[in-house]
Structure formats: C-alpha cells, structure tokens
Structure 1
Amino acid sequence: MLDQTAKFRIGEVVKHRLFSFRGVIYDVDPQFANTEEWWQAIPENLRPRKDQPFYHLLAENDESHYVAYVSEQNLLRDTSGEPIEHPSVHELFTGFDGTAYVRKSGSALN
C-alpha cells in the first residue's frame, strides 16, 4: 500500500543518490519491511533510517539488471528521459512518457 507521505510513486523512474544505478518503482513500503540481517549488512555510515518509505525497484546499471530495495533518502528523480531496460519492465508496465511508466492492471512481479 502506498503511504500518503511517499515522495515517489509507482512507475516513476529514479536514480540512487550515492551509487550509479537507476530504476523504475514497482512497489512502496511505508517504512522499512526487509530483514534485520539485510539492514545490518549495510555499512553503518550508509545505513538508512527505517522510519521512511522504502521502494522496490527494477534497477539497472552499466553491467546488469536486478531488483533493488532503496530508502527514500537515497533516491532522486531521474530526469534523463531515458527508459529502463530491465527485462521485467514490460511484465509490469505499459508505455513510458519520459518520466514514468503506467502500471498494467493486475500486474505482479513473481
């Protein structure tokens, strides 16, 4: 469920504030909803607060495509206008308008 305080929306293209990857949001958690082990594996100086929205992304960098889980504090809007090349994009979304994708009705990532 999308929290009303979430800064970004499903279908929006974003980029990571610190690392060289970008992606399209396909789900939002109102606050941290991953494992404690996952959170503890992040170096302490980079570890995000848990009390903020976290976004599920179909992500890509120059080397690969993957799924990422990113805190709101670490995301920026991607203004490149470039589409995401992740192979699962077409399973979840229809057309791209240069800023965001439109989610297919009834779509779910397995």
Structure 2
Amino acid sequence: MVRHKRYGYLGVVVDSDPHCRAPDSWYSRNQTQPDRQQPWYHVLVDGSETATYAAQTSLEEAERAMPIEHPLLDVFFTDFDGEAYVRNQRAWPSTWE
C-alpha cells in the first residue's frame, strides 16, 4: 500500500519499471517531472477506476494497510492478507510500447 506524497491518494502497486518508460510527450504534460532515472510504479488508485504511473520519490508507504476499492483488483491480485495484496502472475499490459 502506498500514498502519493503530493496528491494524497492511496493505492496498491501492480507493476514497476526500473526507470520512466513513458514517452516525452506524456512526461512533459505532467504537473511535476520527477527524475526519470528512478523506479516508476503503476498504481491502482483507491476508490476510482484509475491506474497512475508515479515515480518512487512521489510515493511513500501507507501508514497502515487496508483493503482498497478498484475494479482491477481481482484481475491482478488473489487476496488481501491483512497487510498486503497478494499478486498473481497476470502481466500488467505494456503501456508505453
């Protein structure tokens, strides 16, 4: 479970990239431009149908783990064990290719 430092939303990480793989056009439209040469995470946002792409420096561990509401949870996770979501083997779609 993570919380976005600037926007405050809670979410669960579903996939990661070792560096930002988004195209320059996407990156330049962001309100912030965190360093591209750090891990970036695909995050399912609690209480929405949104998945965001956030830099490691933009996220922090949530104070406590709790179930979230997102329509894709059952697609990518098998269970919530009380502390974390248990990821299945289904691959996250290739967003930037």
TM-score range, shorter chain: 0.7 to 0.9
**Which residue identity lines up with residue 33 of structure 1 in the other structure?**
R
Aligned residues: 93
Contact 2:15/2:92 (8 A) holds in 1: no
Task: Please say if 1:24 is aligned against 2:12.
Answer: yes
Structure 2, unaligned stretches of length 5 or more? none
Gaps of 5+ in 1: 1-12
How far apart are residue 28 of structure 1 and its match?
0.6
| 1:54 to 2:40 alignment | yes
Shift, 1:84, TM fit: 1.5
DSSP-derived class of the 1:87 partner? coil
Aligned: 1:80 with 2:64? yes
TM-score normalised by length of structure 1: 0.76
Q: CA RMSD in A?
A: 1.5
Q: Deviations over 1:20-44 (max 9, x none)?
A: 211111111000101111110123x
3-state DSSP class of the match of 1:18? coil
Q: In the alignment, does 2:29 pair up with 1:41?
A: yes
SS in 2 for 1:24: strand
Which aligned runs of 4 or more in structure 1 are off by greater than 2 angstroms? none
Q: Is the 8 A contact 1:79 1:99 kept in 2?
A: no
